[in-house]
Chain A
C-alpha cells in the first residue's frame, strides 16, 4: 500500500513538472506518453508508434533512417533526436501532417516524388495550427507545402530542392495555398523554385534567408502580409506581389536578383503597399511598379530605403501614379529612375530622397539641398524607350549625347521627376544590414552600406523632423545617436603639430551632457587649437567625437551640434536685425525665433543699429545670438569675455549661467578666474599643449591663491628707527 502511494506521488509530481512519465511503453489511460522510436526499438517504425500513440502523446525518434511515406492523422508531437532521417524513396510526399496542433521537429526529410502537379513535397500540412520546426529537407520537389491549413508555424527549417532539375522544374521551397495566419520565421531556403504565398492573408515572413532560387517570395491574392528582416540573395526576383492589398515590407536585405526581370521588389496591381527601411542592392531593378496602387483610394509608400548599385533603382510603368518616395537613398544606380516606354513621373511624389548624382549644394547645412534634384539625363530617356540601348552604357556615345544635351539645352528632355528637397546625406541603414551570426554576409556591398549608414548619421534626424518647426533640422541633427550616452564631447589622444611646434600632445577628456568645462591656460597653452579641432577646422591625430559622431567623418553634423562663439566675431556691414536675418535664412530659422533671441539677449532696442555701432559687450551678445540661432545643445566659447569691461562681463556671464541651467553643455576657454568660478563644473588645465590637471574651480582658486610669504630683513647697520 505504501509503495503504491509513493508511486502515485511520484506520478503526480512528474505530471506537475511537465515531464514525460512513461518511456517506450504502451499509453496508459490518463497520462501524456512518450513513445520512443529507434532502430533498436521499442518502436522501430514511426507509423507503428503513431498508430499506438494517443492524442497529445509525444513520439520521440532517436536516430536511424525510416523509409516510406508517413501520414500523421492525430495530434501528437514528433520529436527527432540525433537527426533521424525520413526517406520517401522518390515516391509521393514524404510526410503529411493531417491533424490539428501537431508539432514536427528535428527531422531530416528527403526523397520525395517528382510530379509537380501532384505537389510531391517533403512535408505537407493539411490541418490547422501545425508547427514544423527545426527540420532539414533535401532532395524533395516541394519543401513544405501548407495546403488549406490556417495558423501554421514554419520555423527554423532548412530546405533545398532536387539538384537535378533546373529552377523552373524544381518545386517551391515553401508554399502556402489558402492558408491564412501562417508564421514563416527563421528558415533557410536554398536553390528551390519559389517561396509561394497564394490566397493566404495575414501571413508573416520574418528573418528568413532565401537564396539562389527563382522568386524569393511570390505573393498572389494575399492581404495584410508582413515581410520583415528577411535576406533574399541571388534569386531571379526578390519579392513579387500581385493582386494583393496590404503588403508591408520592412528591414529586408535584397541583393543580387539578376534573373530576366531581376526585380528586388515588384508590385503588380497591388494596393496599400508600405516599403520601409529595406536595402535593395546590386539587382537589375530595385523596385518595379505596374498598376500599383491599383484602386484610386489606396496608397503605396516607399520610405527610408536604400537602393544602391542596381542597374535601375526604380522602374515605373508610365501610367503608374499616386506612389510616394520619401527619405530613400538612391545610391549609385546606373539609372536612378526609369519609365518603361518613356515619359514623366510627375503624378508620383518624390520628397526628400538622397540622390548620389545630385549636384546641388546645401549652404545652410540643414541637410536638404537648396536646389531641386531633376532626373533628366538624355541617354536615360532613350533607354527608357528602347532598353536595348543600355548596351551602349559607358561608351563614348553616351558621353557625346550628354555633352550635346548640355551644350544645346533645347534638346534636353523634360525631367522624369523632380525632388524639391533632396537629402544631402544618405539615411542610416546600419542597424539592419549588419550581418547576423550564422546568416549570410553582405560582403563588400554590405560593408559599404554600413559605412554609408555611419556616414549618414541622419536617419533619426530626418525621421524625427516635423515640418514647419523652425530650426528643427539642425537641432535634431544633434540628437545623440545613443540617447542613453552621457557624453557630449569626447577626445582621446588628440595631438597636433605645426612644423616642429607641438600644439597639442595626447589630450584626452570628456564633457558630459549639461556640464560646463573650462579650458584653462595661458596664451599659447593650446586652448584655441583644441577648439578648432573640436569644430573640425583642423586635422589632428587621435579621436574626437561630438554627440557620438566622429568629427573627421561627420564634420557638418558635428558643427550643427555646436554653437560657437569666438573671441571676436567679424560681422558684415549690416544692422543687428539684418545680421540675424542673414544667418537665420542659412539655418532656416524664422522671425519668431530671432525676435526671441533679441529680447532674451537684450538686443531688442538695438535691432536697427548697424553692428559697427555696437559696444564690445553688445557685439559679443550678438555673437551669442548667432550661436544660439538653431538651438544647438553644445556651446563652445573661446575667451567669451576677454574683450568686455567689468559690467559687460558680469551680465554676459549671467546669460551663460542661465543657458547652462537650461541644460546646455558648455566648453569654454578662459584665463579669468571669475569666469571659471561662475560657470564651470570642472577645469582642464592646459600647459604647452598638454592636460596637466583636471580640477574643480575651488581647487583652481586654491592653487592660484596659495599663501605667499613676504620676508623683509632689516639691517641694523642702516640705523633705521622702526616705530
Chain B
C-alpha cells in the first residue's frame, strides 16, 4: 500500500518535471509562432543581400522574413520588390520597409509605395514607402509619381534600365 503511494508520488513528480521541461524548451525555441521582427541593420557596414552594396540609407532599406525564418536585407526597396516580385518562388512571411519621412520600420504589407524616376535611391529604382496615405500622395504629387500598394509595386518594379 505504502509502496503504491510512493509510486504514485514519483509518477506525479515525473509528470511535473516533464511539463516544466516542455515549457522550458518551448521558451527557448525560436518564436516561430510569434510576430516576425525586422532585422537590426548596421548602416555603413551591412551589405544588401541581393546586390552586395553597402547599406547606408535607412529610408530606402527594406527586409523580408521568409517562411523558413530566414531574414533578407535590401539597400533599396526596388531590390526587395524585384527579388520577391509576383513571380517569385519564395514565400514571404513578413515585409518590412521604412517610412520615408520618419525612417521607422513599418510593415510592408500595409505601406504605400511611390515610384518616380525623379527619386534618387541607392540602386536607382526610385521607390519610397510611406506609412500614411496622405504623405504618399503628397510626395507623389511633388515627384510626379504614382501611389501603389505592395502587390501593385511588386508587379511594377523591373530589373534593368528604369
A is bound by B: yes
Residues of A within 8 A of B (CB): 116-117, 119, 166-169, 198-199, 214-215, 220-221, 236-237, 240, 242-243, 259-261, 266, 268, 288, 290
**B103 at interface by CB-CB < 8 Å:** no
CB-CB nearest in chain A for B55? A168
Bound form: Cα–Cα A168–B56 in Å = 5
Q: Are the C-beta atoms of A220 and B56 separated by less than 8 Å?
A: no
CB-CB nearest in chain A for B57? A168
- Among residues 104 to 157 in chain B, which have CB atoms less than 8 Å away from a CB atom of chain A? 118-120, 123-124
**B27 at interface by CB-CB < 8 Å:** no
Residues of B within 8 A of A237 (CB): 54
Instruction: List, sorted by A's number, 30 A–B pairs whose CB atoms are closer than 8 Å.
Output: A116-B120, A117-B118, A117-B119, A117-B120, A119-B120, A166-B56, A168-B43, A168-B44, A168-B54, A168-B56, A169-B57, A198-B124, A199-B124, A215-B54, A220-B123, A221-B160, A221-B161, A236-B54, A237-B54, A242-B51, A243-B159, A243-B160, A259-B54, A260-B45, A260-B46, A260-B47, A261-B52, A261-B54, A268-B51, A268-B52
Bound form: Cα–Cα A243–B54 in Å = 17
Residues of B within 8 A of A (CB): 43-47, 51-54, 56-57, 118-120, 123-124, 159-161
Residues of A within 8 A of B51 (CB): 242, 268
Q: Are the C-beta atoms of B120 and A169 separated by less than 8 Å?
A: no
Residues of B within 8 A of A119 (CB): 120
Residues of A within 8 A of B159 (CB): 243
Q: Are the C-beta atoms of B47 and A261 separated by less than 8 Å?
A: yes
Q: How far is the CB of A297 from chain B (nearest CB, A)?
A: 19
Whether A199 touches B44, Cβ cut-off 8 Å, given contacts A237-B54, A242-B51, is: no
| Residue with the highest number of chain A CB atoms closer than 10 Å, among B44, B46, B53 | B53
Q: Are the C-beta atoms of B52 and A290 separated by less than 8 Å?
A: yes
Q: How far is the CB of B113 from chain A (nearest CB, A)?
A: 15
Residues of A within 8 A of B53 (CB): 215, 240
Bound form: Cα–Cα A4–B51 in Å = 71
Residues of A within 8 A of B46 (CB): 260
CB-CB nearest in chain A for B60? A117
Q: How far is the CB of B81 from chain A (nearest CB, A)?
A: 17
Residues of B within 8 A of A215 (CB): 53-54
Bound form: Cα–Cα A266–B52 in Å = 10
Q: How far is the CB of B119 from chain A (nearest CB, A)?
A: 6
CB-CB nearest in chain A for B53? A240
Q: How far is the CB of A15 from chain B (nearest CB, A)?
A: 45
CB-CB nearest in chain B for A178? B161
Residues of A within 8 A of B120 (CB): 116-117, 119
Residues of A within 8 A of B123 (CB): 220
Bound form: Cα–Cα A220–B76 in Å = 14
Additional A-B contact list (7), CB under 8 Å, known A240-B52, A243-B159, A268-B52:
A117-B118, A117-B119, A168-B56, A198-B124, A199-B161, A237-B54, A288-B52
Q: How far is the CB of A650 from chain B (nearest CB, A)?
A: 75
Residues of B within 8 A of A214 (CB): 54, 56
Q: How far is the CB of A461 from chain B (nearest CB, A)?
A: 38
Q: How far is the CB of A9 from chain B (nearest CB, A)?
A: 56
CB-CB nearest in chain B for A115? B120
CB-CB nearest in chain B for A172? B120
Contact count A vs B, C-beta below 8 Å: 48
Q: Are the C-beta atoms of B44 and A166 separated by less than 8 Å?
A: yes
Q: Are the C-beta atoms of B160 and A260 separated by less than 8 Å?
A: no
Bound form: Cα–Cα A698–B140 in Å = 98
Residues of B within 8 A of A117 (CB): 118-120
Residues of B within 8 A of A168 (CB): 43-44, 54, 56-57
Bound form: Cα–Cα A167–B56 in Å = 8
The 8 lowest CB-CB distance pairs between A and B, nearest first, are: A168-B56, A260-B45, A117-B120, A260-B54, A117-B119, A168-B44, A221-B161, A199-B161
Whether A167 touches B44, Cβ cut-off 8 Å, given contacts A117-B120, A268-B52, is: yes
Bound form: Cα–Cα A130–B54 in Å = 32
Bound form: Cα–Cα A243–B45 in Å = 23
Residues of A within 8 A of B160 (CB): 221, 243
CB-CB nearest in chain A for B56? A168
Residues of B within 8 A of A236 (CB): 54
CB-CB nearest in chain B for A290? B52
Q: Are the C-beta atoms of A220 and B44 separated by less than 8 Å?
A: no
CB-CB nearest in chain A for B116? A117
CB-CB nearest in chain A for B46? A260
| Residue with the highest number of chain A CB atoms closer than 10 Å, among B46, B54, B57 | B54
Bound form: Cα–Cα A168–B103 in Å = 15
Q: How far is the CB of B152 from chain A (nearest CB, A)?
A: 22
Residues of B within 8 A of A268 (CB): 51-52
Bound form: Cα–Cα A221–B161 in Å = 7
Bound form: Cα–Cα A119–B119 in Å = 9
Q: How far is the CB of A240 from chain B (nearest CB, A)?
A: 7
Residues of B within 8 A of A242 (CB): 51
Residues of B within 8 A of A288 (CB): 52
Q: Are the C-beta atoms of A260 and B44 separated by less than 8 Å?
A: yes
Bound form: Cα–Cα A120–B161 in Å = 23
Bound form: Cα–Cα A443–B161 in Å = 41
| Residue with the highest number of chain A CB atoms closer than 10 Å, among B119, B123, B124 | B124
CB-CB nearest in chain B for A199? B161
One of B54, B57, B124 near A220 (C-beta < 8 A): B124
Bound form: Cα–Cα A73–B116 in Å = 26
| Residue with the highest number of chain A CB atoms closer than 10 Å, among B46, B47, B56 | B56
| Residue with the highest number of chain B CB atoms closer than 10 Å, among A168, A169, A243, A266 | A168
Residues of A within 8 A of B52 (CB): 240, 261, 266, 268, 288, 290
CB-CB nearest in chain B for A116? B120
Bound form: Cα–Cα A243–B125 in Å = 14
Q: How far is the CB of A174 from chain B (nearest CB, A)?
A: 15
CB-CB nearest in chain B for A221? B161
CB-CB nearest in chain A for B128? A117
CB-CB nearest in chain B for A193? B56
| Residue with the highest number of chain B CB atoms closer than 10 Å, among A117, A237, A240 | A117
Q: How far is the CB of B160 from chain A (nearest CB, A)?
A: 7
Bound form: Cα–Cα A243–B119 in Å = 21
Residues of B within 8 A of A116 (CB): 120
Bound form: Cα–Cα A637–B24 in Å = 90
Q: How far is the CB of B30 from chain A (nearest CB, A)?
A: 21
Bound form: Cα–Cα A236–B57 in Å = 16
Residues of B within 8 A of A166 (CB): 44, 56
Residues of A within 8 A of B118 (CB): 117
Residues of B within 8 A of A198 (CB): 124
Whether A169 touches B56, Cβ cut-off 8 Å, given contacts A117-B119, A260-B45, is: yes
Q: How far is the CB of A364 from chain B (nearest CB, A)?
A: 44
Q: How far is the CB of B33 from chain A (nearest CB, A)?
A: 30
Bound form: Cα–Cα A290–B52 in Å = 9
Residues of B within 8 A of A199 (CB): 124, 161
Residues of B within 8 A of A169 (CB): 56-57
Residues of A within 8 A of B124 (CB): 198-199, 220
Q: How far is the CB of A284 from chain B (nearest CB, A)?
A: 12
Bound form: Cα–Cα A243–B118 in Å = 22
Residues of A within 8 A of B56 (CB): 166-169, 214
Residues of A within 8 A of B54 (CB): 168, 214-215, 236-237, 259-261
Q: How far is the CB of B102 from chain A (nearest CB, A)?
A: 16
Q: How far is the CB of A339 from chain B (nearest CB, A)?
A: 16
Q: How far is the CB of A337 from chain B (nearest CB, A)?
A: 19
Residues of A within 8 A of B45 (CB): 260
Q: How far is the CB of A314 from chain B (nearest CB, A)?
A: 15
Residues of B within 8 A of A167 (CB): 44, 56
Q: How far is the CB of B59 from chain A (nearest CB, A)?
A: 9
Bound form: Cα–Cα A220–B48 in Å = 15
Bound form: Cα–Cα A243–B123 in Å = 12
Bound form: Cα–Cα A166–B44 in Å = 9
Q: How far is the CB of A679 from chain B (nearest CB, A)?
A: 67
Q: How far is the CB of B51 from chain A (nearest CB, A)?
A: 7
Bound form: Cα–Cα A199–B45 in Å = 26
